[in-house]
Structure 1
Amino acid sequence: MLLIGVKYQNKAADLNKQSIIKPVVISTWNHGVLANDAAWKILINNGDALDAVEQGVRTAEANPDVQTVGLGGFPDREGHVTLDACIMDHHNNCGSVAFLQHIKHPISVARKVMEETPHVMLVGEGALKFALEQGFQKENLLTEKSKQAYEVWLEKSDYKPIINIENHDTISMLALDENGNLSGACTTSGASWKMHGRVGDSPIIGAGLFLDNEVGAAAATGMGEAMMKTAGSAMVVELMRHGRSPYEACKEVVERIYKIYKNEPDLEWLQVGFIALNKQGEYGSYCLRPGFNYAVQTNTIKNKLINADFKIQ
């Protein structure tokens, strides 16, 4: 697997200004590589971006070794695995679920909310009831590996998630298909050892994910409260509307978040990162601290994992 630095993403924006690059898929973290593989099979066969992002992030939801998404996700401080997800298409249709338990693929439930209900978001017991009515199967999502990690945490019950590991590796994915349409998806088990009932940015349209098919798309990862305080993904898209490149837009919003938190005495717990993709197929990313990476695939870039640029050491 090839790791390349941020200089590449800046050059990509400069080189591609005269032509539209499509299809493109971009997703967060190491597990984005497998997710991109699944999405690319759809995109390369002239499939829809919406189908691509759903099927892409389902790979992380079903993987018990990805302990920040879906099956095997780290539980809350009461030992319950609770999941959040949202999905959005090029018509600005969107669906979301939050505080969902017992369902392995919240992203697919979110799509059902978008397509089968008049609502955008369902939460908790209502989301579970809807999922079961739609044919999803109820199952235990707490694997032995995550249960053991939880029992170790209980010994001190100290809420200080480790950045880039527990704080937290949401998978977000953006895709531009051959028809020039954008879609996005975001799914997570949220911050490890969170309070029971806590919901982060991942199911919140405008915070964890946003797109405008005339402009571009953006998605977030990291501590959700920081993204919600800034409507982070929506702001990235709005900055691209006003002429910023995907990289520049991500960087500006990260710097806004840093300004909010910089005077706190202990900032080591905070990590935030954004990915962005515009209508020309240009992509970019930026994060607060080193350690965040993302995967990109196009017809000329074979699913490379890229280290994002960062604000502070």
Structure 2
Amino acid sequence: MKRRKFIQNSGLLGLGLTASLEIYPQSFLKHSNMIKNYPVAVATWNFQNATKMAGTMLSNGATALDAVEKGVMVEEANLKNTTVGNGGAPDRDGNVTLDACIMSPAGDAGAVVYLKEIEHPVSVARRVMEKTPHVMLAGEGALQFAIQEGFQKKNLLTEESEKAWKKWLEHKEYKPIINIENHDTIGMLCMDENGDIAAACTTSGLSYKMNGRVGDSPIIGAGLFIDNEVGGAVGTGMGEAIMKSVGSFLIVELMRNGMSPQEACKETVMRTIRKDPKYKKFQVAYVAMNKQGEIGSYCIHKGFSYAKFHNGESSDNLSESYLKG
């Protein structure tokens, strides 16, 4: 009888273990004993003013969604940042067009593309997420919606950006610039004190791009992606390459299957390297965070870094890269 009861109990234990393995992601099981590393805010490039804003809000009890929106808005209003928001470099025809998206812990998302004359596209994207049945609005429709929501139109082409554009017109040479130091798309991940994750990404895109071009930044799964059960990722660099690999979504899925954020970022960059023989001519970089607040980053060319705010401390962190020279 005792032997029979032992076998029965062992069988129940096995079923319980199997059920737990099915319910919880492998990444959770692998890292479940890690020390709590949140609340925390991280962002592409050395945008420490942005992560400080978000991180301070998180420390004061703000939600990840509120913090990530306010964090990237710092760079949207930064006139010295010529690839985000107000003061962004125009397209070939002199138009400053903005792209942005935001994603909540619940998995909801909103995005705007080819938006003109609105300084904070990330806030318009949030309104799309929360007030419409859609995920993305574009061009005139996005502008019309923004005005209906009370946003004010504004000339985003600064005197400095206009001068640089007119100088470019003299030669009209178009090529991506690798590692525009501290002046590039900002993608941000925030985890609040409850362990919930939100993400946002905003940009004015490639300088002097073709009129109508949209990059990866407002595309859910490319420029950013989160799954609140697993973690999140944001990307920066050559948007076309990131879109082709659906890079941020891939990173989250790799973490779901047991990889650390660092391992997942590296594998995703390596896929681009293996598939595109021209990889030396452009930059691709990712930052990822799992549910324990563990952070990883990887890029093609050295020089990319990410900003982090945690426990009241701000830091600039150099990413690992495939190319060392």
Please report the TM-score for the alignment, with normalisation by the length of structure 2: 0.88
Q: Which runs of 5+ in 1 are unaligned?
A: 1-13
Q: 2:106 aligns with which of 91, 98, 113?
A: 91
Q: Secondary structure at the match of 1:311?
A: strand
Q: Which residue of 2 aligns with 1:269?
A: 281
Number of aligned positions between the proteins? 295
Contact 1:25 1:296 (C-alpha < 8 Å) held by counterparts: yes
CA contact under 8 A between 2:81 and 2:183: conserved in structure 1?
Answer: no
1:292 corresponds to: 304
Q: Aligned AA for 2:303?
A: G
Q: Is 1:128 aligned to residue 143 of structure 2? A: yes
> Counterparts of 2:266 and 2:168 in 1: how far apart (Å)?
34
Alignment equivalent of 2:200, drawn from 185, 188, 202: 185
Q: Match of 2:259, SS?
A: coil
1:156 to 171, 188, 198: 171
Question: SS in structure 1 opposite 2:61?
Answer: coil
Match for residue 5 of structure 2? none
Q: Which residue of 1 aligns with 2:267?
A: 252
The separation in 1 between residues aligned to 2:317 and 2:180, in whole angstroms, is 17
What residue number does 1:50 align with?
Answer: 65
* Separation of aligned partners in 2, 1:110 and 1:63: 19
Counterpart code for 2:56: K
**Distance (Å, rounded) in 2 between the aligned partners of 1:24 and 1:168:** 22
Post-superposition Cα deviations, 1:103-138, rounded to whole Å, max 9, x if no partner, equal 000000000000000000000000000000000010
State the distance in 1 between where 2:181 and 2:239 align. Answer: 12
Q: Is residue 62 of structure 1 aligned with residue 74 of structure 2?
A: no
Q: Secondary structure of the equivalent of 1:303? A: strand
CA gap of 1:190–1:25, structure 2 versus 1, over 3 A, is same
Larger radius of gyration: 2
Answer whether contact 2:45 2:182 (CA < 8 A) is retained. Answer: no
Contact 1:168 1:221 in 2 (8 A): no
1:198 has 2:209 as partner: no
Aligned to 2:6: none
Is 2:176–2:238's contact at 8 Å kept on the other side of the alignment?
no
Paired with 2:102 and 2:157, the residues of 1 have a C-alpha distance of: 24
For the Cα contact (< 8 Å) 1:49–1:175, is it kept in 2? yes
Runs of 4+ in 1 over 3 A off after TM superposition: 14-17
Q: 1:239 aligns with which of 254, 261, 283?
A: 254
Q: 1:114 to 1:15 in 2, by over 3 A?
A: closer
In structure 1, distance between residues paired with 2:88 and 2:32: 38
The AA in structure 1 aligned to 2:120 is: H
Alpha-carbon spacing, 1:20–1:171, altered in 2? closer, same or farther (3 Å): same
Larger helix fraction of residues? 2
Instruction: Name the CA shift for 1:250/1:238 in 2 (closer, same or farther; >3 Å).
Output: same
Question: Is the alpha carbon distance of 1:310 and 1:280 closer, same or farther for their aligned partners in structure 2, counting shifts above 3 Å?
Answer: same
Aligned-residue RMSD, C-alpha: 1.7
Counterpart contact for 1:97–1:109, Cα < 8 Å: yes
